[in-house]
Chains A and B, each alone.
Chain A
Amino acid sequence: MDSIQKKLLAEVADLHDVPQGAYSLRINGSLYGKNSSENIEIVAKTDKPGIDIYVKAGTKNESLHIPVILSQSGLKELVYNDFHIGEDCDVTIVAGCGIHNGGDAASEHSGIHAFYVSKNAKIKYVEKHYGQGDGNGENIMNPTTYVELAENAHMEMETVQIKGVDSTYRKTVAKVSKNATLVVHEKIMTHGKQVADTEFEVELNGENSGTHVISRAVARDQSKQKFLSVIKGNNKCSGHTECDAIIMDNATVAAIPEILAVNPDASLIHEAAIGKIAGEQLIKLMTLGLTEKEAEEEIVNGFLR
Chain B
Amino acid sequence: MLEFRNVSYSVAGKDILKNINLTIDDRFVAITGPNGSGKSTMAKLIAGIIKPTEGSILMDGVDITDLSITERAKAGISFAFQQPVRFKGITVRDLISLAAGKSTSIAEACSYLSEVGLCAKDYVNREVDASLSGGELKRIEIAMINARGTKLSVFDEPEAGIDLWSFNNLIKVFEKMHERTKGTIIIISHQERILNISDKIIVLANGGVAEYGDREEVFPKLMDVRSGCNFTKNS
On whether the beta carbons of B85 and A280 are closer than 8 Å, the reply is: yes
Does A299 reach chain B (CB closer than 8 Å)?
yes
Chain B hits for A284, CB < 8 A: 81, 84-85
On whether the beta carbons of A289 and B85 are closer than 8 Å, the reply is: no
10 of the cross-chain contacts (CB-CB < 8 Å) are A280-B81, A283-B69, A287-B47, A287-B73, A288-B95, A289-B70, A298-B98, A301-B89, A302-B89, A302-B91
On whether the beta carbons of A289 and B74 are closer than 8 Å, the reply is: yes
- Interface flags for B85-111 (1: CB within 8 Å of A; 0: not) read 101111100110011010000000000
B87 CB → nearest A CB, Å:
6
The answer to whether residues A286 and B70 also contact, given A299-B90, A302-B90, A302-B94 and a CB cut-off of 8 A, is yes
Q: Which of B165-205 contact A (CB under 8 A)?
A: none
On whether the beta carbons of A289 and B89 are closer than 8 Å, the reply is: no
On whether the beta carbons of B78 and A285 are closer than 8 Å, the reply is: no
Chain B hits for A289, CB < 8 A: 70, 73-74, 98, 101, 148
On whether the beta carbons of B49 and A283 are closer than 8 Å, the reply is: yes
Chain A: how many interface residues by the 8 Å CB criterion?
22
Does B4 reach chain A (CB closer than 8 Å)?
no
On whether the beta carbons of B87 and A302 are closer than 8 Å, the reply is: yes
B194 CB → nearest A CB, Å:
21
Chain B: how many interface residues by the 8 Å CB criterion?
25
Please report the C-alpha to C-alpha distance between residue A120 and residue B31 in the assembled complex, in whole angstroms.
63
Interface residues of B (CB under 8 A from A): 47, 49, 68-70, 73-74, 77-79, 81, 84-85, 87-91, 94-95, 98-99, 101, 144, 148
Give the secondary structure class of B's interface. mixed
Please report the C-alpha to C-alpha distance between residue A196 and residue B95 in the assembled complex, in whole angstroms.
31
Chain A hits for B81, CB < 8 A: 280, 284
Rank and list the top 10 A-B pairs by shortest CB-CB distance, nearest first.
Answer: A302-B89, A302-B90, A289-B73, A286-B69, A284-B85, A305-B89, A287-B79, A303-B89, A286-B70, A280-B85
On whether the beta carbons of B87 and A281 are closer than 8 Å, the reply is: yes
A173 CB → nearest B CB, Å:
28
B234 CB → nearest A CB, Å:
36
On whether the beta carbons of B85 and A291 are closer than 8 Å, the reply is: no
A253 CB → nearest B CB, Å:
16
